[in-house]
Amino acid sequence: MSKEKLIDMALNNKMHAEAGTMELADTIVEIPASNYFDKSRWQKEVDLIFKRIPLVLGVSNEIPNAGDYKSIDVLGVPVLILRNSNGQVKAYLNACIHRGAALVENGLGNKKRFSCPYHGWSYNEDGSLIGISSQQDFGDLDKNCKSLISLPILEKAGIIWVILNSNSNLDMEKFLSGYDKMLELFDLENWHVFSTRVVKGPNWKVAYDGYLDLYHLPVLHSETFGKNISNQANYYEWGPHQRVVSPLARISSSEKGGVVTPDLDVPVEDWPMDMLMAGVWTIFPNVSIASFRGGGRAVMLSQLMPGDNPEESFTTQYYLMEKKPTKEQEIEAKKQFDLLEYVVREEDYSTGLRLQKSLKTGMIDSVMFGKNEGGGQNFHGWVDKILKTKDKDLMSLFS
Ligand SMILES: [Fe+2]
């Protein structure tokens, strides 16, 4: 079914490419400029979006084996993600139940059990408390009544989602709105994690807007990959998640020194899979996945996180490769990753940092998203909708 959907999209895109058209939104949408810098609004976004709905916190192949773990701080929440001996992923607050000390330093590792570095209490992969140091002196405590704080987690399509709220009972699959079936077509669970990097950027929505339109590509990126490419895009939605794709599919390629497009005389069904998966696959609220051919088939998965204030964000870039690269491919892959980091840092985010200064002057009332920028319209619409929705009604937004 999902492959059929992919073919349908490719046929629709091709039809637009041949006609020189794109699907347009009904109208131009204006949103208040203050949405990008107002501190209380930003705090609401952190609390009601980032701390309420599932967030992509990693990919399966960062922790492929039993005992592998990843420990990270996300918006002030220390999270420990691990793969247990049954191959399932689990997420816990990285905090000893005794007095809250972090069980492990941030990073990747492999452990069968976790021993708190403060007083030595220990936990197994299920988060169960299995050892209390000098319990005869500590006092009577039933170990079965205490365990690590568990966080909701879901692994689908080689991607790991976590909710930063131990009390949440949100249906994570429902939130994905069937989009995971599309993402499965990447087959990321079998892909190689080549490298990750972190780029500091502007307000998370200022930064994310740039992933949701192709309108800016031939202008802002004219010196890098954007020369002579179309600025049109079609948008396909699954709940709040959307794919942004040029009518004429294209993939940036270091091998060909530029951009590769399909031969439109070749039937769509015979296009290579990465061409069928071209464009930017965004995962609400803060992730994008885009295809490249740098050192072989690859994707850049970018995860944007708000920083400490409305004016900063941090983007973790994962360069994932279909196959483990050879030495030569490694050089190409690194070149492609360097270019992508450069483009994001020096073109997208430097533009974002300057534009948010202008917005913050308060002299611009609103910003606009044209009929050709439906991706941004959809995204900001969903942000507004989620901020307005009470916990009890949150689930009804997704189907
Ligand atoms: Fe850009």
CATH of the domain at 155: 2.102.10.10
Q: 213 C-alpha vs ligand 1 centroid, how far in Å?
A: 8
Domain boundary among 169, 197, 230: 169
Q: What is the CA radius of gyration of the chain?
A: 22
- Residue 131 belongs to what domain range? 55-169
Which distant-in-sequence residues (6+ apart) come within 8 Å of 381 by Cβ? Answer: none
How many C-alpha atoms does 345 have within 13 Å on its Cβ side?
13
Burial of residue 395, with CB atoms counted within 10 A of its CB: 0-12 exposed, 13-18 middle, 19 or more buried: middle
- Given a contact cutoff of 8 angstroms between Cβ atoms, the answer to whether 330 and 295 are in contact is yes
Is the confidence at residue 369, as pLDDT, over 60? yes
Mean pLDDT of 230-255: 93
Band of pLDDT at residue 228, cut at 50, 70 and 90: confident
In this structure, the answer to whether residues 134 and 215 fall within a common structural domain is no
Domain boundary among 169, 194, 221: 169
In this structure, the answer to whether residues 34 and 123 fall within a common structural domain is no
In this structure, the answer to whether residues 248 and 330 fall within a common structural domain is yes
Is the confidence at residue 254, as pLDDT, over 90? no
Q: 217 C-alpha vs ligand 1 centroid, how far in Å?
A: 6
For residue 188, give the DSSP letter. Answer: G
The predicted-structure confidence for 123-181, as pLDDT tens digits, reads as follows 999 999 999 999 999 999 999 999 999 999 999 999 999 999 999 999 999 999 999 99
Burial of residue 302, with CB atoms counted within 10 A of its CB: 0-12 exposed, 13-18 middle, 19 or more buried: buried
Q: 178 C-alpha vs ligand 1 centroid, how far in Å?
A: 27
pTM: 0.97
Q: 40 C-alpha vs ligand 1 centroid, how far in Å?
A: 28
Q: 219 C-alpha vs ligand 1 centroid, how far in Å?
A: 9
